Amino acid sequence: MYDPSVGEVIATTQLCSKAQVNAAATAASNALLSWSQTTVSERADYLNAIADAMEQQFNKLVGLSALNSGKPIEEAKIDVGDAIACYRYYANLIVSQSTLTEVTTNEAGIRLLKTLAPIGVCALIVPWKFPMVTTSWKLAPALAAGCTVILKPSEVTLLPELMLGNILSAIGLPKGVVNILPGAAEVGAAITSHPLIDKISFTGSNGVGEKVMIQAAKGIKDISLELGGKSAIIVRADADIDHACDLIIGGIFTNAGQICSATSRLLLHSDIAQNLFTQLKIKTNSLQVGDGFDPDTQMGPLVSQQQQMQVQKYLDIAAEENLDCLTGNNVLDSQGYFASPTIYIEVPTDSRLWQEEVFGPVLVSTTFVDDTEAIRLANDSKFALAATIVSADEQATIEMALQIQAGHLWINEQQIVLPEAGWGGFKQSGIGRELGPDGLSAYQKSKHILLPN
């Protein structure tokens, strides 16, 4: 594994192979009966114990995240705090959920009862972009529901993820309930095709997501996919320009743009375009790009050399398409995997940079004349994960939000994601929801029992 700020090796680990997948799946299957029969209060206690242990090792987890992913230390602190909040949320949710309810029917002399059962053995495949956070989004509700788990973290950001194994051992989680398999793509393929797996929850690229769907189809496995995005940020004519610039910058340059919900398409009312671009360029050029451990750093490096090459590919495409660059437009000549915050203006909607997910600090923009055109442009994408609207007119923004195809929207706010709010998109942004009650339901199946009065 590398420190992306300097491009140097910081640790070497032994990755799992396909041969170890069967042992993990068997362990999870063997543990399922006893774990699924634990009480909800017992499972809640374990989730709270995970959160307690993470709080006790907060600074170490933050440091490992910043070191391994390159993100600024303040972003790493937010990540660890979000993960802790997620474990606590599902601990509270599971104890408040009814385990057996009576369903009202129109049939005389008949009673109908409903209960919820765990799906079974779940394969959780998480990406490198938010270590610990995406893991908690999947692991917390899976454990709360009574499922056992095979967890495959990304081999790129293993350091903070492997700490979880130590925590689970320290709190006395029964053996076989969670099996962590760090490995490359071949391990993921072996997991998703294994006959003992009942559900797959995957976060990552659309290309890999399609392969996961194919594997899931062979065994008729339950599936959740959280995939790509090309989200829009809409700035109406009545928006406060200074605040809008802050939201634009936060939406695309946080985590160096390596966010599935990054608002990488700026839709700007033509009446304020010139003034906003002037201010946006000044603020973007003032961003401090550097080592995540530097307290002045506002944007860290890309996570890997491969990701830096991905961004360079799209900068080359922009040059081929003769896009008008407001600022940036280069990867930085330094030891680490840095790219400059980049903004293109008046980008045609048939541009590859407008249509495709770059997954880096690259913003494309165009203008609109009214809300109808803004909504049309926002919806003109194969993705539909998220969107942001900036305006002084709350009622108008809510009306727009109801017409925009996206699973999560922010109005005049940064990309805050609450454990209570479901997360997921429409179109090619994925299948299913994480977080909130929907996130728990993703790991449960309803059962109905009919009997006479």
Maximum mean pLDDT: which of 102-106, 155-159, 276-280: 276-280
Structure confidence at residue 285 (pLDDT): 98
The confidence score (pLDDT) of residue 222 equals 97
Find the mean pLDDT for residues 316-327.
98
pLDDT, residue 196, reads 97
263 in any annotated domain: yes
Give tens-digit pLDDT for 365-398: 999 999 999 999 999 999 999 999 999 999 999 9
Do 163 and 191 reside in the same domain of the chain?
Answer: yes
Is 179 in the same domain as 70?
yes
Using DSSP, how many helices (H) and how many strands (E) does the chain show? 15, 20
On the 0-12 / 13-18 / 19+ scale of CB atoms within 10 A, 391 is: buried
Cβ neighbour number for residue 226 with a 10 Å cutoff: 28
Q: Specify whether 155 is catalytic.
A: no
Output the average pLDDT for the chain.
96
- Domain assignment of residue 331, yes or no: yes
Over 80: is that where the pLDDT of 99 sits?
yes
125 with 261, same domain: the answer is: no
**Is the Cβ–Cβ distance between 360 and 262 less than 8 Å?**
no
| 92 has a pLDDT exceeding 90 | yes
- Is residue 149 domain-shared with residue 165, that is, in the same domain? yes
Terminal Cα distance for the chain, rounded: 63
CB hemisphere CA count around 205 (13 angstroms): 12
Q: Do 217 and 98 share a structural domain?
A: yes
CA distances from residue 123 to 141, 200, 327 in whole angstroms, order as listed? 13, 5, 42
Is the pLDDT assigned to residue 154 strictly greater than 80? yes
pLDDT at site 354: 98
The mean pLDDT value for 79-105 works out to 95
In this structure, the answer to whether residues 118 and 164 fall within a common structural domain is yes
Task: Determine which one of 147, 161, 260, 434 is catalytic.
Answer: 260
Q: Model confidence over 334-343: pLDDT tens digits?
A: 789 999 999 9
Question: What kind and span of H or E run contains 144?
Answer: helix 133-145
String of DSSP letters for 95-137: HHS-SEEEEP-SSTTEEEEEEEEE--EEEEE--SSSTTHHHHH
Most confident of 14-28, 94-108, 260-274: 260-274
pLDDT in tens, 189-210: 999 999 999 999 999 999 999 9
Whether residue 71 is contained in a domain is answered as: yes
* Structure tokens given for 245: 């610039």
pLDDT of residue 432: 96
pLDDT value of residue 334: 78
| 119 plus 243 within the same structural domain | no
Question: Which residues form the domain of 115?
Answer: 2-227+429-452
Mean pLDDT, residues 302-324: 97
Assigned domain for 56 exists: yes
Mark whether 127 and 268 lie in a shared domain. Answer: no
CATH number reported for the structural domain that contains residue 276 in this entry = 3.40.309.10
Q: Find the mean pLDDT for residues 351-355.
A: 98
pTM reported for the whole predicted model: 0.95
Alpha carbon separation from 287 to 223, 327, 359 (Å, rounded) = 40, 12, 19
Asked whether the beta carbons of 151 and 21 are under 8 A apart, the reply is: no
pLDDT score recorded for residue 97 = 92
Question: Is 299:341 a contact under the CB 8 Å cutoff?
Answer: yes
List of residues 6+ apart from 365 with CB closer than 8 A: 265, 266, 267, 268, 343, 344, 345, 346, 347
Among residues 355, 408, 418, the alpha carbon closest in space to that of 85 is found at: 418
Residue 423 is assigned to a structural domain of this protein: no
CA distance 139 to 132: 10
- Whose tokens are 């002037």? That residue is 278
Residue 333, pLDDT > 80, answer: no
Q: How many domains does the chain have?
A: 2
Tokens of 8: 């140097």
Helix (H, G, I), strand (E, B) or coil at 53: helix
Q: Is there a catalytic annotation at residue 122?
A: no
Q: In this structure, what are the phi and psi dihedrals at residue 356, rounded to the nearest 5 degrees?
A: -105, 150
Measure the CA–CA gap between 439 and 294, rounded to whole angstroms: 36
Is 237 in the same domain as 108? no
The per-residue pLDDT for 238 is: 98
Read off the pLDDT band of 1 (50, 70, 90): confident
Please check whether residues 56 and 77 belong to one and the same domain.
yes
Is pLDDT at 76 greater than 90 in this prediction? yes
How confident is the model over 421-441, as a mean pLDDT?
96
Q: For the segment 31-41, what is each residue's pLDDT rounded down to a tens digit?
A: 999 999 999 99
Give me the phi and psi of 204, to 5 degrees please: 170, -155
For the CA atoms of 5, 8, 11, 16, the dihedral, rounded to the nearest 10 degrees, stands at: 90
pLDDT score, position 184: 87
CA triplet 263, 378, 431: central angle to 5 degrees? 75
Query: To the nearest 5 percent, what fractions of the chain are helix, strand and coil?
Result: 45, 20, 35
Q: In this structure, what CATH number is given to the domain that contains residue 110?
A: 3.40.605.10
Q: What is the pLDDT of residue 17?
A: 87
Q: Provide the pLDDT confidence category of residue 80 given band limits of 50, 70 and 90.
A: very high
Q: Has residue 249 got a pLDDT over 80?
A: yes
What would the two tokens of residue 404 be? Answer: 């925009």
Judge whether residue 302 has pLDDT over 90.
yes
Residue of 75, 161, 226, 357 marked active site: 226
Query: Does residue 163 sit in the same domain as residue 40?
Result: yes
One domain, residues 412 and 266:
yes
